[in-house]
Chains A and B, each alone.
Chain A
Amino acid sequence: MAVPKLEQLSKSVVQGPSLATGAVPTKEWMDVQAIFKPGNYAYPAKVEKVEYLNSQKDLNFPNAREWSPEDDDWKLPEGWQEIILKGLRERLDKFRSLKIFMDCCVRCGACADKCHFFLGTGDPKNMPVLRAELLRSVYRNEFTLGGKILGKMAGGREMTIGVLKEWFMYSYQCTECRRCSVFCPYGIDTAEVTMMLRELLHLVGVGINWILEPASNSNRTGNHMGLQPHTFKDNVDFLAEDIENLTGVKITPSFNRKGAEVLFITPSADVFADPGLYTAMGYLLLFEHIGLDYTWSTYASEGGNFGLFTNNELMKKLNGKMYAEAKRLGVKYIIGGECGHMWRVIHQYMDTMNGPADFLEVPKSPITGTTFNNAVSTKMVHISEFTADLIRNNKLKLDKSRNAHVKATFHDSCNPARAMGLLDEPRYILDHVVDWVEMPENTIREKTFCCGSGTGLNTDEIMELRMRAGLPRANAVKHVIDKHDVNTLSTVCAIDRATLTSLMNYWNPGCKVCGVTELVGNALVMDGENRQELDEGLRTLV
C-alpha cells in the first residue's frame, strides 16, 4: 500500500474532517462500522505460524485458517460469541485491573487527545476512552445490572461480528504505550484493555502475522528474526570485525559460555538490523573497555518479547528462556540491552512469572562494586543503569569530541518511561558523551509520545497509519531540529531504532536514529586503539 506523499499527509492531518481537527461525526459511534481496506490493517497470521504456536505445550492459538479482514466472513469458530464472553469472564476474574477499568471510567475525556493514534488519525475510536468503550459496552451488556436491564440505554451492546471487527481494528491501532494512563484521574491503562482485547481475539483465531511469526521464531530459534545459532554468532562476529577495522581493537565475544559472570541479552534486531547494529557495536566496545566477563546466548538471543503482544501464556513461555539460560550457564546475573517492551516484561512481569531467580546473585558491578539494589530480586540490570554507574565512578575513558558530528535529542521509550521510571540514567549518560537537547516538555519523560509502531505494528502494510501515529513524536523532533539543529534522535529501544528510522525518513529526512550505547561506543577511548579518522563514529565507512 503506497504511503501518501508528505504534503498530502501533512494537509490531511490538519484539514482532514476528523474529530481531532474539529469535525464531529454525524453518526453515533456504535452505529459506525469498521471497514477494512488495504493499508488500514496488518495482515492476518499465516496458517503455519498459528499451527506451530498452537502445537506448543501450554499454548492455545486455535482456529488456524486462511482469512482476510476484508472478507465478510472471518471464518470464526462455531459458538465464537460464547468463547469470547467466557474468555472475558475468566479475565475479569483474573485481573482486577480489568474489572476496575471497566467500572470506573466516568468518560471525562482527559485521555481523548493524549493518544498518538488519535492525534494522527482523528478517528474517534482511537480516543483511549472510546477504545475501552468498545469492550466496556459489551461488558456492560453482559456483566452489569444496568446493562442487563436497560441494554443500549445504559450503554450496553451485544457481542456481534461488527463489534469483533471493531476490536480487531482498534486493538491493533494501540501500541500499549500507557500515555493515556498518566493523565487518567483513575489511572485507567488502555494497555490493559488492549491486551485483553488481543487475548480475546486470539481465542477465536484472529491475530496478525507480524506478531505471531516473530513470536514463533522466538520460541524456536531463540530470537524473533529467526536467526539460527551459527548465524547469530556470525552476525556478532561481523560486528567485532567492523570494530577492529574502525578502531584497531580486537574483540572476541563468547557465546553460550558456562561460568561467565554475566549473561547479556538484547533484542536480536541489534545484531542484525541497521541502525541497531551500531548500538550492538557500542555494547561490544563497552564490555571490552571494562573487561567484563560476559557471554551472549544464542538460545536466549532475544530481549524483546512478542508474547507480550499476544497473551499471557506466550509472554511467560518466551520470557522463561532468560532465567533458564542464566541457570544453565551458571552466570551470576543478567544485563539487558536497550529495549522498550522487553523492559516492561523484565521490570513488571518476569520475576512474578518466572521467578524467583534464587540461583542468581544480587547484581553487583565488578568494576565499581556498586550493588544494584533496585534489582535485588529479578537480578537483571538495565544497560543504562550499568553504564551510568560506570561513568559516575570514572571507569570509562570518554572523549565527547568523538561525537562532534552529533547533535542529539532523546526519545523516552514508552515502557522504560511509564512502566519502569528509567528516565535520568540515559540522560546522565548522554550528558557525558554527546551534545544534546531535550524536546518540548509535554513530549518527553512520562509524557513521551510513542514511535507509533510498537506492540508489533512495525509492519510495512500499515505504513500510513504508522506515519500518522508517529506524527506527534516526529513533530517534537522537528521542533528541536528547527531550533537547535539536531541531527540525531537517540533512544533506548530496539523497536524505536527501526520504527523511528522510517518515521524520520518520512517526516524529518536527514535525522538519524541511534541507541544511547552507540554514542557511548563512539566516545570510548579504548586501550591499544589504532583509531581511524571516524567523522561519523561507528557509522564511518572505511
Chain B
Amino acid sequence: MKYAFSFLAVIALILIAGLGSQIPGMHYLFGVAIPYLAIMLFVGGFVYRIIQWAKSPVPFSIPTTCGQAASLDFIKQDKLDCPTKTSEVVARMFLEVFLFRSLFRNTKSEIHDGPKLTYESSKWLWVFGLLFHYSFLVIVIRHMRLFIEPIPRWLTAIEGVDAMLQIGAPTLYLSSITLLIGLLFLFARRLMNRQVRYISLNNDYFPLVLIFAIAVTGILMRYFLRTDIDIINIKNLAMGLVTFSPVIGAKIGAIFYIHLFLVSILLAYFPFSKLMHMGGVFMSPTRNMANDSRAKRHINPWNDPNIKPHSYAGYEDEFREFMVEAGIPVEKELPAAKDEV
C-alpha cells in the first residue's frame, strides 16, 4: 500500500495549507515566505545536483550504439542512433529529450506455450508519457502570464491553441484535461502492470499524487471555485514575488493557498528526487557521447599510467626454454648449456 502513504502525505499537505492559510497573519507565510523558500531550494538544489554530477568525470566513452556505426564508405551509418559528429549527437539528444525516442522503441514480451517468446511493439507508455510531460510544459508556460506584464503575444498564442475547443466559460484548456489523463494512466500503470507495481516506491507514487493534487486544485480554482479567486489580486502577488516586492492584497480563497503550497512542495522536493531526470537526461553518457572512440582518443583524468601489463621480459624469462625449442623468436638467447662448456 505504498501509494496510500502518498495520498495521506498529500492530504496532510492540503490540510496544512487549507487550514494554515486561514489563520490570520499566515497569508504572508503561505503566499510569500514558503514560495520564496521553495524557489530557492529548487534553483539551489537543481544547480547543486548538476554540479555534483559534473564533478564526476566521464572516464570512458560509453555511448550505447543503437544502429550502424560510421565505418567503411559503402556501409551506411545510422547517424541518429550511432552518431560521430556533434551535430548528430545533438540530433540524437533532441529526439531523446523532446520525443522520448528510446521509449518509442518499447516492446512488450510474452511467453507462450512451446515455449514461444514474442515481443510486440508497445507504445502506451510513450504516448501517455509524452502527453503528461507536454501538458505539464504547456501549463507551466501558461502560468507565466502571472509573472509577466504586458503579456507577450506568444503566450497568448499558446493559450489560444490550448483553448482551441472553445468549450465553456472560462474556456476549457486542453492541457488541463490531458495532464489529468496522463497522470491517471501513469498511476494506473503503476498499480496494474505487475512488474512496475513490484518495483514502485513511495518515491514514485508521491510525485504523481502531488502533481495530481496540484492539477485538481488548479482546475477547481479556474472552473469551479471562482468566488474567492480574484485573479487581479493573484497576479499582483505573483508580480510582487518576481519583483521582490510582494504584497498580499484582499483576501484570497484557501484553494489558492493550497495550490500554491503544493507547487512549493513540488519545487522543493524536485532536486532531491527522481524528478531530477529532467536534468540527468542531458548528461547521460550512454546517450550524449559520440561513437568515435577509435578515431579520437577520449581522456580519462584518473587514468593511472603506472598500471603496466605483465612485462614481455618477465614472460620470456618464464617460458624462454619452451620458446626457443618451439622456434619462437626470443629477445635473449638461452645461456649456453653447462655440459657443452
- The answer to whether A and B belong to the same complex is yes
* Chain A residues engaging chain B, CB cutoff 8 angstroms: 10, 13-14, 19-22, 24-25, 29, 56-58, 92-101, 103-110, 112-114, 119, 124, 127, 129-130, 133, 144-146, 153-155, 178, 181-189, 192, 219-222, 228-230, 233-234, 255-258, 298-299, 313, 316-321, 324-325, 328, 346-349, 351-353, 355-356, 370, 372-378, 380, 385, 388-389, 392, 417-425, 428, 440, 442-443, 445-447, 471-472, 475-476
Chain A to chain B contacts (Cβ below 8 Å), 8 pairs = A96-B58, A105-B274, A154-B201, A220-B315, A228-B322, A352-B60, A353-B300, A428-B75
Residues of B with C-beta under 8 A to A348: 60-62, 293
Tell me, yes or no, whether B140 is within 8 Å of chain A by CB: no
- Cβ B106 vs Cβ A183 within 8 A: yes
- Cβ A373 vs Cβ B115 within 8 A: no
- Cβ B195 vs Cβ A352 within 8 A: no
Alpha-carbon separation in the docked complex, A181 to B105 (Å): 11
- Cβ B274 vs Cβ A104 within 8 A: yes
Residues of B with C-beta under 8 A to A187: 64, 96, 102, 284-287
- Cβ B193 vs Cβ A109 within 8 A: yes
Alpha-carbon separation in the docked complex, A258 to B173 (Å): 76
A456 to chain B, nearest CB (A): 20
Tell me, yes or no, whether B297 is within 8 Å of chain A by CB: yes
- Cβ A471 vs Cβ B117 within 8 A: yes
- Cβ B125 vs Cβ A423 within 8 A: no
| B residues 66-95 in Cβ contact with A at 8 Å | 66-72, 74-76, 78, 81-82
- Cβ B299 vs Cβ A388 within 8 A: no
8 extra interface residue pairs, beta carbon distance < 8 Å, beyond A182-B64, A183-B105, A378-B293: A24-B194, A96-B58, A96-B283, A144-B272, A182-B105, A186-B284, A188-B286, A392-B74
**A222 and chain B: residue at smallest CB distance:** B315
Choose among A189, A316, A324 the residue that contacts B62 (Cβ–Cβ < 8 A). A189
A353 to chain B, nearest CB (A): 6
- Cβ B69 vs Cβ A420 within 8 A: yes
Alpha-carbon separation in the docked complex, A211 to B257 (Å): 61
Residues of A with C-beta under 8 A to B131: none
Residues of B with C-beta under 8 A to A109: 193, 195-196, 199
| Most B Cβ at <10 Å: residue of A124, A299, A385 | A299
B93 to chain A, nearest CB (A): 10
Total B residues in contact with A, Cβ cutoff 8 Å: 102
Tell me, yes or no, whether B280 is within 8 Å of chain A by CB: yes
Alpha-carbon separation in the docked complex, A257 to B327 (Å): 11
- Cβ B119 vs Cβ A442 within 8 A: yes
Residues of B with C-beta under 8 A to A112: 195-196, 199
Alpha-carbon separation in the docked complex, A146 to B65 (Å): 34
A104-B281, A178-B64, A347-B293 known; A96 vs B57 contact (CB < 8 Å): yes
Residues of A with C-beta under 8 A to B294: 346-347, 351, 374-378, 380
Alpha-carbon separation in the docked complex, A155 to B299 (Å): 35
A182-B66, A417-B65 known; A352 vs B322 contact (CB < 8 Å): no
Residues of A with C-beta under 8 A to B82: 421
- Cβ A182 vs Cβ B195 within 8 A: no
Q: Which 10 A-B pairs have the closest CB atoms?
A: A421-B69, A320-B309, A104-B280, A230-B326, A421-B65, A187-B286, A109-B196, A442-B119, A187-B287, A421-B82
Choose among A13, A103, A124, A127 the residue that contacts B280 (Cβ–Cβ < 8 A). A103
Tell me, yes or no, whether B153 is within 8 Å of chain A by CB: no
Residues of B with C-beta under 8 A to A181: 64, 286
Choose among B59, B81, B297, B319 the residue that contacts A228 (Cβ–Cβ < 8 A). B319
- Cβ A317 vs Cβ B309 within 8 A: yes
Residues of B with C-beta under 8 A to A93: 55-56
Residues of A with C-beta under 8 A to B119: 440, 442-443
| B residues 244-275 in Cβ contact with A at 8 Å | 272-274
Residues of A with C-beta under 8 A to B109: 113-114, 119
Per-residue A-contact encoding for B32-67, CB less than 8 Å = 1, 0 else = 000000000000000001001111111111101111
Residues of B with C-beta under 8 A to A114: 107, 109
Residues of A with C-beta under 8 A to B108: 113
- Cβ B111 vs Cβ A233 within 8 A: no
Tell me, yes or no, whether B167 is within 8 Å of chain A by CB: no
- Cβ A103 vs Cβ B62 within 8 A: no
Choose among B71, B201, B300 the residue that contacts A422 (Cβ–Cβ < 8 A). B71
A99-B53, A110-B106, A187-B284 known; A316 vs B326 contact (CB < 8 Å): no
- Cβ A313 vs Cβ B308 within 8 A: no
- Cβ B328 vs Cβ A130 within 8 A: no
Tell me, yes or no, whether B116 is within 8 Å of chain A by CB: yes
**B189 and chain A: residue at smallest CB distance:** A109
Alpha-carbon separation in the docked complex, A388 to B108 (Å): 35
- Cβ A103 vs Cβ B49 within 8 A: yes
A99-B53, A106-B274, A185-B103 known; A153 vs B315 contact (CB < 8 Å): no
Residues of B with C-beta under 8 A to A317: 307-310
- Cβ B286 vs Cβ A97 within 8 A: yes
Residues of A with C-beta under 8 A to B187: none
Residues of B with C-beta under 8 A to A185: 96, 100, 102-103, 129, 277, 281
A14-B115, A257-B329 known; A446 vs B284 contact (CB < 8 Å): no
Tell me, yes or no, whether B325 is within 8 Å of chain A by CB: yes
A107-B201, A313-B304 known; A299 vs B312 contact (CB < 8 Å): yes
Per-residue A-contact encoding for B103-134, CB less than 8 Å = 1, 0 else = 10111110111111101000001000100000
A14-B114, A442-B107 known; A370 vs B329 contact (CB < 8 Å): no
Tell me, yes or no, whether B298 is within 8 Å of chain A by CB: yes
B37 to chain A, nearest CB (A): 16
Residues of A with C-beta under 8 A to B243: none
Alpha-carbon separation in the docked complex, A119 to B302 (Å): 38
- Cβ A110 vs Cβ B62 within 8 A: no
Tell me, yes or no, whether B203 is within 8 Å of chain A by CB: yes
Residues of B with C-beta under 8 A to A445: 67
**A421 and chain B: residue at smallest CB distance:** B69
